[in-house]
Chains A and B, each alone.
Chain A
Amino acid sequence: MRTAELRRRHQKSTVVAALVLFQLFLFLIQLWLFVVVLENALEGKTQMLNAATLSSIVIFAINTWMLAGIKRLLKMK
Chain B
Amino acid sequence: MSDRLREDFPIDWEEDHFVTRREFFKFLTLASGGVAVGTAALAAYAQLPKNRRQFQPAFVCNVDKLTPGSSLAFSYPRAHDLCLLVRKSSGEFVAYSRRCTHLSCPVEYERQNGEEILYCPCHHGSFSIEDGRVLQGPPPRPIPRIELERREDEIWAVGAYSEVE
Contacts and interface: CB of A to CB of B under 8 A. Distances in A.
Interface in B8-44: 21-22, 24-26, 28-29, 31-33, 35-36, 38-40, 42-43
Interface residues of A, number: 33
Contacts, number: 80
Contacts of B42: 34, 37-38, 41, 49, 53
Interface in B123-164: 140-142, 163
B143 to A, nearest CB: 11
Interface in A5-24: 16-17, 19-20, 23-24
Interface residues of B, number: 22
Contacts of A49: 39, 42-43, 46
Contacts of B31: 27
A21 to B, nearest CB: 11
Given A44-B141, A49-B42, A30 B25 contact: no
Interface string B26-66: 10110111011011101100100000000000000000000
Contacts of A38: 42
Interface of A: 16-17, 19-20, 23-24, 26-27, 30-31, 33-34, 37-38, 41, 43-44, 46, 49-50, 52-53, 56-57, 59-60, 63-64, 66-67, 70-71, 74
